Structure formats: C-alpha cells, structure tokens
Amino acid sequence: MQVLLQLGLSLVLLAPQYTTTAAAPSSQCQRQCGNVDIPYPFGIGVNCSLSKRFTINCTVQDGIHKPFRGDFEVLDISLTHATIRMLNYILGFCYNTSTRSMESVGRYGRRIQIRSGPSSPLRLSDARNKFTVIGCNALAFISDNDTGYQGLGVATCRDPLELVDGSCSGMGCSQTTIPNKIYNYEVGFSTFANTSRIWRFNRCSYAVLMEAAEFKFDVSYINTTKFNDTNAGRAPVVYDWAIRDVVRCDVARRNKTGTYACLSSNSKCVDSTNDQGYMCNCTHGYEGNPYLQDGCTDVNECNYNPCPSDGFCHNIIEEHWCSCRVGKRYVKQSNTCNPDTGFIIGVTMGLFGLMVFIVITIFWGQLIIQKRKLNKVKQEYFRQHGGLLLFDRMKSDKGLAFTVYSLAELIHATDNFDNSRILGKGGHGTVYKGIIKNMPIAVKRCALVDDRQKKEFGQEMLILSQINHKNIVKLLGCCLEVEVPILVYEFVPHGTLFELIHGKNHALQISFNTLLRIAHEAAEGLCFLHSYASPPIIHGDVKTSNILLDDNYMAKVSDFGASILAPSDKEQFVTMVQGTCGYLDPEYMQTCQLTEKSDVYSFGVILLEILTGQLPLKLKGSETQRSLSSIFLSAMKENNLDAVLVSHVKGEESMELLRGLADLAKKCLDMCGDNRPFMKEVADELNRLRKLSMHPWVRIDLEMDAESLLGGESTSGYEIELNGYPMGESENQPINPRSSYYAR
C-alpha cells in the first residue's frame, strides 16, 4: 500500500495579487541576508519588494542569518538571468532490515507535493533542472496535474562494480528533463520497485528535482548515505522568475501607469520564455537594476580595456571611442593603433634610416667583440688546461681513444645541464647523464682546481685516458673551453654499491656471494691503478658510492682522477686533506701524505659495510660508537665478531668465510700504513675467499708451512697460501708502491 504525505510548502503559496502601482522601495530596506544579496523586486520586510510574492524572509538558523522563501533556503538571486536558486529537499526510500519493508527517509515521506498558483512569479527552470534518481532498483515519478505532465526516472544495477563515476545514464543513476511552465509538481516512489533483494549493497534510493550543473554521480552514493547527507538532505534547484500579472511586454507597456515594473529610463522589457510574463533588463551600454528608478547607469566601457594598449579610451553615454597618440591613427576594424604613414614618412624618413644604420652597426659590433672575447677566454682556458699538449699527442698517437669535446656539444647532450639529468653530486663536482650520437655518457662538471692542477691537467688526461680495465670506469674525453674542465665518462646504469647495501636498491636482497664478487672486482680495479698503471694512480676517495655497477652488476671504480693526480715526489704533502669522513686514513689525516695504503684503509671500511650492513659513520652516539671501524676493531679485540655481523649474512655464509673476510678487513684498517697489505694482496685474498664461498667443502690445510699471503698470524685460525706476486716482482722483492698520482 502506498503512503501519501502531502505538504503545502510555502514556496509561492496563496497571496494577494500585485498592487496597482509599482512603488519604489524605501532606501532603508535590508538588501542582504547573510552572504546573499536580495535585489529589488525581491525584498525583506514590508514595502521592500514589488509584492508579497517577492518577499524573502531573513531568519537565524544555527546562529547564521539565512534567506528563505517558505521552507526553502535561497542561495542567490540573479537579475540578469531572472533566476533564483534554492535548496530543494531530497526524497529518500529505504529498505528497513528490521521490518523487512520499504520506508520513507527524511522530512517528507515517500512523496513531495509543491503547490502554488499560476500567478506565482516562479516557474521551474526546464533548461537548468533535471529530475535525478539514484539507486539500483529505483522507480520514481514526477508529475504536474495542472498541465498533465508525467515523467519517470528509473535507476537500476546488478552489481556496484558495474557503476562508473560521472555516468548518469540509467545504471545506478538517471536524469530526466522536464517541460517548461511548471509551477506545481509532485515527486514520489513506486512500491513496485524496492531494494529488498539487493539491500546488502544498496539499501536506499533517492529522487530529487535539482540543478543539473551542480550534480555529478559518485559511485559511493549507492552504498552510503553520502548523497542524502549533502546540505542536510537538500540539493539546489533553479526557478525562472518573471512579472506574471500580464501576459507579455506589449500589454505591460500599454499600462505604464499601472503595474509596469521596468522603471529605469534606460531599461527594456523582455518576454519570459518560461510561461507568460516579462522581465526587465538594462539596455545596451547600461548596467544595474532596471526595476528601480534610474537603476540602470552607464557602463564605463573603458574599465574593460576595449582600446589598444598604446591608445586612449574615452567613455561617453552608452558607448566609448578610442584615439591614438601623435603619429598613429586608430583603426576600428582591427582595434589597433597603426602608424600614420603620411605623417611619419614626411618627417622621419632620414632620421629613421640613420637610426637603423647606427643600431645595426652597434649591434653587430658588440656581437663581434663579445664573440672574440669569448673565443679568447676559451682559448686561454684550453691553453691553461694543457689542450695543446693533448692535441699534439692525439695527432702523433692516432690510436688514442680520447675525445676533446666542445662546450656546445655537452650543453646539447645534457639539455643545458638540466637538473633532471643529475646522476649524483659530491665534493668533486656534479655528474649529469648525457646523450651523444645515441650513446649514453656521464658528464662531470668538476669542482674548482688550483693553478698547479690546471698546468698538469692535459698530462693527467692523457694518463687517465689510457687506463683500460674492465673494473674501472672508462674516461672517454674532456672539455677544456671552460674555467673548470668537464670530464666525460662511460655511462654505468645500475647505481652504486652504496645504494645496493644501504640505499634505494637495498630491497633487492643481493646475496652475500654477489657482494663478495663486487668487492673482489673493485679490489682488482684499484690494484690495477696502484700496480700496473704508468705512472701509478692513487684513488684518494675510495668508498661504496664510488663503485658503480653495470648491467651485469659488475663493479667499476669511478671518480679517480676526477680533479687532479697526485703531486710529484718533491711535493708529497698536501695543504688540505680531502676525502670522505668515515673512509679517511688516520695516518693520512696526521701526515697529509697520501699513499697507496690510504686506499687500502678506505677499502677496509668497504669490507666492513658488506659484513655489517652499517654506515661508515654515525652522527649520534659516543665518539667510539660513531665510527664503524672503531666498533669493528673493538669487537675483534674482544673476540666478539658475531655481534657486528648483519643477521642475514650469519645465516647465509659459514663463519670460517666471515672470519676470513673480517681478518682481511682488520689488516686493512691497521693504524700504521706499513703494516697494511698491498691492494694486490687484498685482491688475491678476496679471490681465495670467493673460492671458499663457492666451494664450502674446500678447507685449507691447517698444517701448511707456507707464509700467509697477508703476513703475520691469522686471527681466523687458518693460514693463507701465497700463490703469486704482483706483475714484475719476485718473492724476495715485494712490491714497492709508488704514490705519484691520486684521484680525489
């Protein structure tokens, strides 16, 4: 059985006809309620509106002043479009799980009836409103018994997953247009469609006549009360309003002494497009309220910049006119100030030609001078950095795979050194990714260098360019046209060992065997720099972030020779210690003398990072607890290696292997550089430990009488067999490392 609850809402309920005169409202009338303007012919209070049918009530609701027409809150009133927006009530129809029946939700039950008369100034806007129905089994109707209009809204769905946000074409949501001339209407639900079978995901259906532009379907409306909760169960609806006591404008004009409402002398009458009646608008060139005496005032068109930017605007009644300064004339068709050629040609021909000649001469002269200065500066930089030496050697040695790039080439390759191309930053400079001839490269803008380094730069580039080892990043070329040289390396794509252990690639869970292989490859690269490069090169900044990884995660030592090579033998002492905290050789910090054993110490810290998974230096804690090397050496002294090892490594590898690697790290971290092993010995020991890792069944003969590869007693409980010596050395003549060059 259908339940009918009819409410006679006071939108435009019965009221007296218009008065016989259109009297002007008092200047004391209230023209604003809350944040809403109330323009005449609407008004608040007695004699403040055109008639009682245009009266607005300003009431306090929740401590805030709000305008109402009957039970409907007014949102805004437009004189230009002759519309009034109000909040309409949403009709809800829900399934009650307790009574297992459909029940109305909200203030007005299952149906809403809105009643008014044909003399009401309001008509529902057919252009701006739509009858909106939401639900999965909803059948709602809208009707007007006075005009005979009947409309249906049907919304259906089988599963919420079928619904789409913003789509209101029948699935979960439907919108139906309405005809014009409606002042009475009724909205309700049919009980033939209910949500008893689908209440688990759609308990309620909703219907409302509302402003179409303010609605966008949201899937959450189906399984929540979100739609009904909007504005406390209300939605905006738009009414067209007009003066309805006369049929149209021609009838109203003939009765100007009576109820003709267009009082302003600069107003015009416009027939209503939604039922009989008329509205008033200001004529072209005027703005304001046409329903008031002298309410339409002249529009100052000059406020809207109608004239050219280089012209002048002059406002006059109902229009404006433009002018231009002397020497130009106004062209209305294009709204521009064009030169008055007749005036200009006769006066300025000679002067203009002379000025053009002078400007062009000065411009090209300055361009040539600046270009010469720039070329001179580039040539001076090129000379300072040893560019002539490089070119001579490259001409004489045609097999030298080294390129001297121009600054323009590198700017183009790196998009003018754009920040999005940065691969990394450090104390020695910034590295960018570049593309030259479809080949990726790494471009390094070095930090400042001193005069001695500038003089030796060309020679150093020749030495570094000839280093060709699989575990060392290849130097491809350089640019010498700038104050601080730019280096070009091969591009290594898979980040650094630091990222693999501590950073963004830590989640890859690389096996300990892989980390051991990377360490061995890095040691081979450093060994090559120390023992086989001519002259030998000391890196000077060995750390995990300077060990790059290629596509196969093979190690490549980078950032060597980044700024300078080592001083000559007579200048062994440096004025400023450089490097990275946590990796710096304590002996180097005390003596300011960089040696090959300084690289060995730094490499020992890398071995600690692999064993412990910790950073070389912590900012918090006591002085002894900040340095990873101090923590490790203390643990070794107390025979408590297990306390510092990373947990997954202890479960992955044998303690024999881990003690061997810890013993190697301990020897590298010896405070006295002479007691540390050479990098060749470190590489050989890592190679031996890798074989032990790959073949855990192999054991070293504990009774072998051979000397340990690293010398001295082994703290791991076994001895290491010496399988060979560095190239060019014998058992009786160990390597004598040369420390002529280093990279920092």
Q: Are 410 and 443 in contact (CB under 8 A)?
A: yes
Q: Is 698 exposed, middle or buried (0-12, 13-18, 19+ CB in 10 A)?
A: exposed
Q: Tell me which residue has tokens 């300055």.
A: 366
Q: Which residues contact 500 (CB under 8 A, 6 or more apart)?
A: 506, 508, 510, 515, 518, 549
| Secondary structure class of 364 (helix, strand, coil) | helix
Phi then psi dihedrals of residue 354, to 5 deg: -65, -40
Nearest to 204 by CA among 130, 131, 97, 113: 97
How far out from the chain centre does Cα 72 lie?
44
Nearest to 241 by CA among 77, 113, 69, 131: 77
Hey, how many other C-beta atoms are within 10 angstroms of the C-beta on 296? 25
88's enclosing H/E stretch is: strand 83-89
Q: Tell me which residue has tokens 């303010």.
A: 214
Q: Is residue 637 a known part of a binding site?
A: no
User: Annotated catalytic residue: which of 240, 541, 559, 585?
Assistant: 541
Answer yes or no: 271 catalytic: no
Q: Are 673 and 598 in contact (CB under 8 A)?
A: yes
Length of the chain: 744
CA distance linking residue 689 with residue 245, whole number of Å: 105
CA distance linking residue 18 with residue 259, whole number of Å: 8
Q: Give residue 652's identity as a one-letter amino acid code.
A: E
CA distance linking residue 480 with residue 607, whole number of Å: 37
CA distance linking residue 508 with residue 483, whole number of Å: 41
How far out from the chain centre does Cα 503 lie?
22
Q: Please provide the DSSP assignment of 101-168 as one string.
A: EEEEESSSTTEEEE---TT-SEEE-TTTEEEEEESSEEEEEEEETTTTEEEEEEEE-S-GGG--TT--
Nearest to 715 by CA among 629, 640, 608: 640
Q: Is 176 exposed, middle or buried (0-12, 13-18, 19+ CB in 10 A)?
A: middle
Which residues does the annotation mark as catalytic?
A: 541
Residues belonging to the binding site are 444
Residues belonging to the binding site for ATP are 444
